[in-house]
Amino acid sequence: MDVNVAIRNTIRTIPDFPKPGIQFKDITPILENPVVSRAIVAEFVKLYHGVKVDAVAGVESRGFLFGLPLAMELNVPFIIVRKKGKLPAETVNFKYDLEYGSAEIEVHKGAIKKGMNVLVHDDLLATGGTAGAAAQLIEKEEGIVAGFSFLIELDDLKGREKLVRFDKPIISLVRYN
């Protein structure tokens, strides 16, 4: 199976969600398909062969879906990056600007160890604000960004440009204009 073709054929595009003009990439049909889901994890494992990854950080909420199985396959810890106010123990936070307004993400203090190579994982790269903030959080904790992995990248929103400064591989399985 060509996993990129399988993803493209399985994703649904829902127009005007959550706002008029947005073409929402709905991954729920992928989650309902265990063959494609397994192929996605296998593809990430293959692509990260030879890259030093000590942990995978998945961004709430859709970054959790493939982030945990990927970490399990790589046999490394999975670290959850959550929106503010959801993690129960002491946290470190990073505030960032969105297109309109701002948002804050956090991880448990001590989850990212000094010098740890942490792969940022999410389902989708749009403007890059979220993935860039997760990477800054890793650096704030003295971890090293190992790279970025996404199922989907929306090229027109130029998120990649926000991530190039980390100078690490940015992998997306499917790209849309």
Ligand X SMILES: O=P(O)(O)OC[C@H]1O[C@H](OP(=O)(O)OP(=O)(O)O)[C@H](O)[C@@H]1O
Ligand Y SMILES: Nc1ncnc2[nH]cnc12
- Beta-carbon contacts of 34 under 8 Å, excluding residues fewer than 6 positions away, are none
**For residues 17 and 38, which CB has a smaller minimum distance to ligand X in the complex?**
17
Least distance to ligand X from the beta carbon of 151, Å? 10
* Catalytically active residues, by annotation: 62, 99
Rounded to the nearest angstrom, the gap between the alpha carbon of residue 36 and the centroid of all alpha carbons in its chain is 18
Least distance to ligand X from the beta carbon of 63, Å? 6
**For residues 92 and 157, which CB has a smaller minimum distance to ligand Y in the complex?**
157
- The answer to whether residues 71 and 44 touch, using CB atoms and an 8 Å cutoff, is no
120 touches ligand Y by CB under 6 A:
no
**For residues 36 and 154, which CB has a smaller minimum distance to ligand Y in the complex?**
154
- The answer to whether residues 148 and 131 touch, using CB atoms and an 8 Å cutoff, is yes
Q: How many CA atoms within 13 Å lie on the side-chain side of 159?
A: 26
Six-digit token string for 147 = 């790279």
List 118, 124, 135, 145, residue binding ligand Y (CB under 6 A): 124
162 touches ligand Y by CB under 6 A:
no
Least distance to ligand Y from the beta carbon of 176, Å? 9
12 touches ligand Y by CB under 6 A:
no
Binding part of the chain for ligand Y, among 19-27, 100-108, 113-121, 162-170 by CB under 6 A, reads 19-27
Task: Give per-residue burial for 61-76: e unless 16+ CB within 10 Å, then b.
Answer: ebbbbbbbbbbeebeb
